């Protein structure tokens, strides 16, 4: 059975920034957050993708905007955060969902640095300019990590990816510790294998089956599976939850069938 989501009012009044809203988990979270009453500004590196996803929701009456931004460029990232904070009048939630993904079999120094930039650096690039706004609002940060940051996965060359996502988990804990005096909460979500535009095209049937075999619940995750937890972490229902990394992974990290 897949996760089904029902609309409510759990994020009414929240000013939310979500990265990577052009597809996959970011688009699913944007839709759910908007239906729950949030005002959302999204972005994506694929030209027009965030704009198009936002437009569909705006046509349904939601307050959602999208922009084309390459978060690997710190200046572009800062400009997007500053403009979003100005248009929303502040930031209550920053959801660092976006990450690039590269095949890692043939490592080079350049590839290693590329993965660090598009998976770890981009979280810094948005969080640093958003920090003063989050201090003012006592806001929440949600960072997308991965089970790859928790477990070694040998067969599909994930060294740089796992190092970057492990860094996201460690960064999240430190942001929680540094932010606590100002009322900032920071939590990470570690998805298992999720069906997304990236994984659907990058994986052949063997690789897909290899991944599925690791899950107790043997289906790929979906955007709504992840968005359901993100909604909780963005809402005031999680006001005593900070510094955590929570896996949404079909039981992958719990054990074997």
Ligand X SMILES: NC(=O)c1ccc[n+]([C@@H]2O[C@H](COP(=O)([O-])OP(=O)(O)OC[C@H]3O[C@@H](n4cnc5c(N)ncnc54)[C@H](O)[C@@H]3O)[C@@H](O)[C@H]2O)c1
Q: Minimum distance from CB of 140 to ligand X (Å)? A: 17
Q: Minimum distance from CB of 176 to ligand X (Å)? A: 19
For residues 56 and 153, give the distance between their C-alpha atoms in angstroms, rounded to a whole number.
Answer: 38
For residues 247 and 206, give the distance between their C-alpha atoms in angstroms, rounded to a whole number.
Answer: 24
Q: Minimum distance from CB of 50 to ligand X (Å)? A: 8
Query: Which of 248, 257, 254 is CA-nearest to residue 213?
Result: 257
**Choice between 11 and 194, CB closer to ligand X:** 194
Q: Minimum distance from CB of 130 to ligand X (Å)? A: 15
Residue written as token pair 């046509």: 59
List, as one string, the DSSP characters of 68-83: E--TTSHHHHHHHHHH
221: DSSP letter: B
Query: Which of 194, 222, 197 is CA-nearest to residue 208?
Result: 194
Q: Minimum distance from CB of 42 to ligand X (Å)? A: 9
The residues, ordered by sequence, that sit 6+ positions from 221 with a Cβ below 8 Å of its Cβ are: 191, 192, 193, 194, 195, 248, 249, 250
**Choice between 162 and 238, CB closer to ligand X:** 162
Q: Where do contacts with ligand X occur on this chain (CB under 6 A)?
A: 19-20, 22-26, 43-46, 69-72, 97-101, 118, 122, 144, 146, 191, 193-194, 196-199
**Choice between 65 and 137, CB closer to ligand X:** 65
**Choice between 43 and 134, CB closer to ligand X:** 43
Nearest residue to ligand X, by Cβ distance, number only: 24
**Choice between 24 and 137, CB closer to ligand X:** 24
């Amino acid at each position: 059975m897949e996760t089904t989501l029902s609309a409510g009012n759990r994020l009414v009044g929240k000013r939310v920034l979500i990265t990577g809203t052009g597809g996959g988990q970011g688009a699913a979270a944007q839709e759910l957050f908007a239906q729950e009453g949030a005002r959302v500004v999204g972005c994506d590196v694929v030209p027009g993708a965030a704009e198009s996803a936002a437009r569909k929701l705006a046509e349904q009456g939601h307050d959602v905007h999208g922009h084309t931004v390459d978060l690997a460029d710190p200046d572009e990232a800062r400009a997007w955060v500053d403009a979003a904070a100005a248009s929303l009048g502040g930031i209550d939630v920053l959801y660092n969902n976006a990450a690039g993904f590269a095949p890692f079999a043939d490592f080079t120094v350049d590839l290693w640095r590329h993965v660090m930039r598009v998976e770890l650096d981009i979280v810094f690039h948005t969080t640093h300019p958003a920090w003063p706004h989050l201090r003012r609002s006592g806001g929440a940060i949600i960072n997308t990590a991965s089970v790859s940051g928790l477990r070694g996965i040998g067969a599909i060359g994930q060294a740089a990816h796992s190092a970057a996502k492990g860094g996201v988990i460690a960064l999240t804990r430190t942001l929680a510790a540094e932010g606590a005096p100002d009322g900032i909460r920071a939590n990470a979500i570690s998805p298992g294998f999720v069906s997304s535009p990236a994984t659907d095209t990058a994986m052949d049937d063997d690789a897909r089956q290899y991944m599925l075999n690791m899950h107790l619940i043997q289906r790929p995750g979906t955007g709504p599976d992840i968005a359901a937890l993100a909604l909780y972490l963005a809402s005031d229902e999680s006001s005593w939850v900070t510094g955590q990394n929570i896996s949404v992974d079909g039981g992958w990290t719990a054990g074997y069938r």
